[in-house]
Structure 1
Amino acid sequence: MSDSGRGTEYFWCTRHHRVETDKDVCPAVYVLGPYRSKADAENALQSVQERNEAWDEEDRRWAGEER
């Protein structure tokens, strides 16, 4: 169990390109997360890309640069 009391947490390690748990996680500089499931951690990079694209679009709308 993690310190948060929520059970196992999962992380995507950008150094090793794998899912790690709260029991064997690399230093924070190398990981994304925590995630509630292994599947969520496996999809971390896709989630980051989708979120960045949405934020970029929001920034363009805010700046009046709609396409």
Structure 2
Amino acid sequence: MTDVGNPPQYFWCVVHHRVETGKERCPAKNLLGPYGTPAEAEQALQRVQERNEQWDEDDARWSGQQS
């Protein structure tokens, strides 16, 4: 894995299910990020799920569907 940038940026590839960085990474449409560390990039899908749940809760609250 070649680090490019200062500081380097890491991405999660949703096609290959791996951390990618550098010039030889997949196209942007397949990447989540950038993240500051490989560990943060590995948590990308978990963060997406958590944020989606938060947005669903916010939508319910704003539409009056709060339980």
* TM-score of the alignment, normalized to the shorter chain, above 0.5: yes
Deviation (angstroms), 1:58: 0.3
- Superposed CA RMSD in Å reads 1.0
Structure 2 alignment gaps of length 5 or more: none
Count residues in correspondence.
64
| TM-score (normalizing by structure 2) | 0.88
Stretches of structure 1 that go unaligned for 5 or more consecutive residues are: none
How far off its partner does 1:48 sit? 0.2
Structure 2 SS opposite 1:50: helix
In structure 2, the partner of 1:42 is 42
Q: Is 2:12 aligned against 1:7?
A: no
- Contact 1:11/1:22 (<8 A) preserved: no
Segments of 4+ moved more than 2 angstroms: none
Residues of 1 paired with 2:30 and 2:15: CA distance?
6
- Any idea what the Cα deviations from partners look like across 1:10-34, whole Å, max 9, x if unmatched? 0000010000013321101100000
Name the TM-score, length of structure 1 as normaliser: 0.88
Moved more, 21-30 or 38-47: 21-30
How far residue 7 of structure 1 moved from its aligned partner, in angstroms, is 1.4
Q: Distance in 1 between matches of 2:56 and 2:22?
A: 31
